[in-house]
Structure 1
Amino acid sequence: MARFPKPPEGSWTEHYPQLGTAPVSYEDSIDPEHYEVERKAVFKRAWLNVGRVERIPRKGSYFTKELKVANTSIIVVRTGSGEVKAYHNICRHRGNKLVWNDMPLAETSGVCRQFTCKYHAWRYDLDGNLAFVQQEGEFFDLDKSRYGLVGVHCDVWEGFIFVNFALAPEQTLRDFLGPMITNLEGYPFDRMTSRWHYQSEVKANWKLYMDAFQEFYHAPVLHANQSPTAYSKAAAEAGFEAPHYRIEGPHRLVSTSGIRAWEMADEMRKPIEDICQSGLFGPWDGPDLGEMPEGLNPAKCDPWGLDSFQLFPNFVILFWGQGWYLTYHYWPTSYNTHVFEGTVYFPQPRTPRERIAQELAAVSFKEYGLQDANTLEATQSMIESRVLDDFLLCDQEVLIRHLHQETAAWVEDYRSKTAEV
């Protein structure tokens, strides 16, 4: 794996002097009290992606999302006018969870004309209005217009549905995303409807898993078993550096060159990859997606491998040069646990071979994700020992510095504003 030159301004970390170069503390990943403030300062103020519009394709389509980090469950629905709206998943009568199936804490989806509470049959229309009260005459001075569902701020960008739990969001969604993200407009997300999804409960702080996907310093070592021994040893000794990092506002990007799998030496490929013409980098026969948006491949790599856009706080969109993309979500459940979600998106397969090629890519990527997750619980257990107070980061780990500093800045801003109140 070749090394790439640093930018003329110097190293990547020094290119962002506000980040510093000193060792970093992981106290923000092991302190329960910090986590409780982080929930309010970050996850109840930032725009959070909760899914895509393809999940609610027509009037009455809905899905629920359990968000323990915000201490709530929400309903996302397509209204009669075609608008996407979100509500807290709670009945105004006695507080029962409004939409659920057999297991109250399990997420669900479907299509309906209205939402009916399982407890006393109060009904709400798709716009959240209270439409029916069982034995309405038994209530005192009931004005149904005052008791609709509690709304959640909701907006859509390029088919991605975002919510914000602040009483009044400090920025519009578009302003929050900023140019680095909005320059991705025009990518054919709507054509990527062949979807695979998996999730896992991880016993580690959510930021630690995000850190794992913000650098490639680990790749030749942690993923060595995926390659022949001789190649893995050489790769680990040579190391690998991505040719482009970028930080803009609260968001981050790492972009890297690629490798055409079919051009690799025969001993570096698995037989199943040759049979299916697919693997970690995706199906070898990449689709013609047309002209790509200007925000992709900023380093102009040829061949281009991938761009990983890290949207603050917990959402990642990763584009592969082979013509597909995936998303990651990291949903905190406590200071040292979270739920990791990975979803891969391809164009609809046209033949059985294309379908198999997509499945192999999805399974391969899941295997790599499990390898990345495998170290996290070991990391969490030892940093909680507090044997060490801070940890060294190399130049390639510049985005890790930014995530932890950005989170700390949101916490400090929240503390300052609440102290003023």
Structure 2
Amino acid sequence: MARFPKPPEGSWTEHYPQLGTGPVSYEDSVDPEFYEVERKAVFKRAWLNVGRVEQIPRKGSYFTKELKVANTSIIVVRTTQGEVKAYHNICRHRGNKLVWNDMPLEETSGVCRQFTCKYHAWRYDLDGNLTFVQQEGEFFDLDKSRYGLVPVHCEVWEGFIFVNFAKTPEQSLRDFLGPMITDLEGYPFEKMTSRFYYRSEVKANWKLYMDAFQEFYHAPVLHANQSPTAYSKAAAEAGFEAPHYRIEGPHRLVSTSGIRAWEMADEMRKPIEDICRSGLFGPWDKPDLGEMPKGLNPAKCDPWGLDSFQLFPNFVILFWGQGWYLTYHYWPTSHNTHIFEGTVYFPAPRTPRERIAQELAAVSFKEYGLQDANTLEATQTMVESRVLDNFVLCDQEVLIRHLHTETAAWVEDYRRKTAGV
């Protein structure tokens, strides 16, 4: 896989010559055969974020995750020793899904002392050991120590839980993340306990939706109706360009300057924003989170808007200058469908006003996300027409080039390593 240095000032794309400047093909987003290889080459080899430690706050806490792209379901659990472990969600007896509630294909969570199969009551402890077999004497030379749950490689970074489905991961999680991401260590993720979660099934390839959040070229146009007319018209005419892009290994960053919403002219704001002292950029009253890690706001913008870190393949952490963050996940379900998950994190509100301000910010984010999703379903249908086979990109769409280039590199690397196997 290619590695890209940090560029000097100037045209961002031209300083990443490995990416080229010509038109880009979206065949990787419409070809079912490419998707089948991509599943193995990318999603069964890369580290995938599946949640946070706050979802399993005490011993015996667990949640399941349905990962169609890896053709499996997993259990993530906090063991009796306080460790975070992951297992394939399958009973060793007859292959029944081990943990589920009323609907076998739906995710679930809870607290337990052991996992018991609903089919024949085989039991497993939190460390995955088989501890009980119904009518054990009827089996032939059964050695329970050989039939524990199938483990999944699992590591935790800054409270984020990652799994890897390779037999032997090619890198440790920390090496996979690299300095651009590990320089975020020290951000007070653990203080962000006010959580809003959205999930949507999108009829578009996962990469096309990631592309939508890798550039702000579209923002003044697509999201114009979210702002007062005078402001939207001026923004569309002026355009928008982020001051900083960075590519490191398989990961990407776009950093933008900001705007102090409360300093805008009255006609530029919505009445609800004045009432709630909040909006798209978050609550106006910024919490004191202490010193920020060195990896944030690399362009030293003042005011600073946001940093969007795109962790390959399908995970985004987006930090807002107003003291909150959100995450995006894009989980492929076919070559032209995926599940989008958006989670917004704030510090615990201290007053009803703070709670309302957070809720307005979360709802505003949801509205913007829906606009992007609606557009990309239309994009998918027309790209699949193959009327055009490549598309031109501007300089500030450099991260889009990188995602498709990096995905192709992982697929090619996998094909080379498995040739003749």
TM-score category, normalised to shorter length: over 0.9
CA 1:5–1:84 in structure 2 vs 1: closer, same or farther (change >3 Å)? closer
RMSD of the TM alignment (CA)?
A: 3.3
Q: Deviations over 1:391-415 (max 9, x none)?
A: 0000010000000000000000000
1:243, 1:257 within 8 Å by CA — same for their partners in 2?
Answer: yes
Q: Deviations over 1:72-98 (max 9, x none)?
A: 000000000000000000000000000
The secondary structure found in structure 2 opposite 1:274 is helix
1:333, 1:339 within 8 Å by CA — same for their partners in 2?
Answer: yes
Question: Aligned partners of 1:33, 1:79: CA distance in 2, in Å?
Answer: 40
2:87, 2:152 within 8 Å by CA — same for their partners in 1?
Answer: yes
Q: Deviations over 1:177-197 (max 9, x none)?
A: 000000000000000010000
Structure 2 unmatched runs, 5+ = none
Alpha-carbon offset, residue 10 of structure 1:
2.7
Question: Aligned partners of 2:59, 2:2: CA distance in 1, in Å?
Answer: 52
The secondary structure found in structure 2 opposite 1:65 is strand
CA 1:344–1:122 in structure 2 vs 1: closer, same or farther (change >3 Å)? same
1:420 alignment counterpart: 420
- The alignment's TM-score, normalised by the length of structure 1, stands at 0.98
Question: Aligned partners of 2:372, 2:94: CA distance in 1, in Å?
Answer: 44
Question: Aligned partners of 1:287, 1:320: CA distance in 2, in Å?
Answer: 12
The secondary structure found in structure 2 opposite 1:420 is coil
Runs of 4+ in structure 1 deviating by more than 2 angstroms, as ranges, are 1-10
Question: Aligned partners of 1:273, 1:100: CA distance in 2, in Å?
Answer: 42
2:19, 2:405 within 8 Å by CA — same for their partners in 1?
Answer: yes
Question: Aligned partners of 1:119, 1:191: CA distance in 2, in Å?
Answer: 41
1:2, 1:238 within 8 Å by CA — same for their partners in 2?
Answer: no
2:223, 2:368 within 8 Å by CA — same for their partners in 1?
Answer: yes
Question: Aligned partners of 1:235, 1:57: CA distance in 2, in Å?
Answer: 44
Question: Aligned partners of 1:27, 1:410: CA distance in 2, in Å?
Answer: 16
Q: Deviations over 1:318-357 (max 9, x none)?
A: 0000000000000000000000000000000000100111
2:328, 2:341 within 8 Å by CA — same for their partners in 1?
Answer: yes
CA 1:134–1:103 in structure 2 vs 1: closer, same or farther (change >3 Å)? same
Question: Aligned partners of 2:408, 2:3: CA distance in 1, in Å?
Answer: 32
Alpha-carbon offset, residue 134 of structure 1:
0.2
Question: Aligned partners of 2:267, 2:6: CA distance in 1, in Å?
Answer: 31
1:3, 1:241 within 8 Å by CA — same for their partners in 2?
Answer: no
Alpha-carbon offset, residue 5 of structure 1:
20
1:252, 1:309 within 8 Å by CA — same for their partners in 2?
Answer: yes
Alpha-carbon offset, residue 235 of structure 1:
1.1
Report which stretch shifted further, 265-274 or 124-133: 265-274
2:261 alignment counterpart: 261
CA 1:7–1:88 in structure 2 vs 1: closer, same or farther (change >3 Å)? closer
2:156 alignment counterpart: 156
Alpha-carbon offset, residue 15 of structure 1:
1.2
CA 1:7–1:181 in structure 2 vs 1: closer, same or farther (change >3 Å)? closer
1:283, 1:357 within 8 Å by CA — same for their partners in 2?
Answer: yes
1:6, 1:12 within 8 Å by CA — same for their partners in 2?
Answer: no
1:309, 1:316 within 8 Å by CA — same for their partners in 2?
Answer: yes
The secondary structure found in structure 1 opposite 2:419 is helix
Question: Aligned partners of 1:5, 1:130: CA distance in 2, in Å?
Answer: 49
Aligned residues: 421
Q: Deviations over 1:126-159 (max 9, x none)?
A: 0000000000000001000000000000000000
Report which stretch shifted further, 167-176 or 223-232: 223-232
1:19 alignment counterpart: 19
Q: Deviations over 1:215-244 (max 9, x none)?
A: 000000000001122221221111110000
Question: Aligned partners of 2:96, 2:346: CA distance in 1, in Å?
Answer: 38
2:6, 2:246 within 8 Å by CA — same for their partners in 1?
Answer: no
Question: Aligned partners of 1:73, 1:236: CA distance in 2, in Å?
Answer: 44
Question: Aligned partners of 2:5, 2:242: CA distance in 1, in Å?
Answer: 9
2:7, 2:246 within 8 Å by CA — same for their partners in 1?
Answer: no
Question: Aligned partners of 2:420, 2:194: CA distance in 1, in Å?
Answer: 49
1:205, 1:336 within 8 Å by CA — same for their partners in 2?
Answer: yes
Q: Deviations over 1:296-329 (max 9, x none)?
A: 0000000000000000000000000000000000
CA 1:394–1:80 in structure 2 vs 1: closer, same or farther (change >3 Å)? same
Q: Deviations over 1:269-302 (max 9, x none)?
A: 1111101101100000010000000000000000
The secondary structure found in structure 1 opposite 2:360 is helix
CA 1:180–1:144 in structure 2 vs 1: closer, same or farther (change >3 Å)? same
CA 1:4–1:76 in structure 2 vs 1: closer, same or farther (change >3 Å)? closer
1:44, 1:166 within 8 Å by CA — same for their partners in 2?
Answer: yes
Q: Deviations over 1:96-128 (max 9, x none)?
A: 000000000000000000000000000000000
Question: Aligned partners of 1:8, 1:69: CA distance in 2, in Å?
Answer: 38
Question: Aligned partners of 1:352, 1:29: CA distance in 2, in Å?
Answer: 45
Question: Aligned partners of 1:232, 1:98: CA distance in 2, in Å?
Answer: 52
1:4, 1:243 within 8 Å by CA — same for their partners in 2?
Answer: no
Question: Aligned partners of 2:3, 2:118: CA distance in 1, in Å?
Answer: 60
- The alignment's TM-score, normalised by the length of structure 2, stands at 0.98
Alpha-carbon offset, residue 4 of structure 1:
23
1:30, 1:383 within 8 Å by CA — same for their partners in 2?
Answer: yes
CA 1:324–1:4 in structure 2 vs 1: closer, same or farther (change >3 Å)? farther
Question: Aligned partners of 2:161, 2:251: CA distance in 1, in Å?
Answer: 18
2:155, 2:162 within 8 Å by CA — same for their partners in 1?
Answer: yes
1:254, 1:307 within 8 Å by CA — same for their partners in 2?
Answer: yes
Question: Aligned partners of 1:388, 1:111: CA distance in 2, in Å?
Answer: 52
Alpha-carbon offset, residue 18 of structure 1:
0.7
Alpha-carbon offset, residue 3 of structure 1:
29
Question: Aligned partners of 2:122, 2:9: CA distance in 1, in Å?
Answer: 63
Alpha-carbon offset, residue 9 of structure 1:
4.4
Structure 1 unmatched runs, 5+ = none
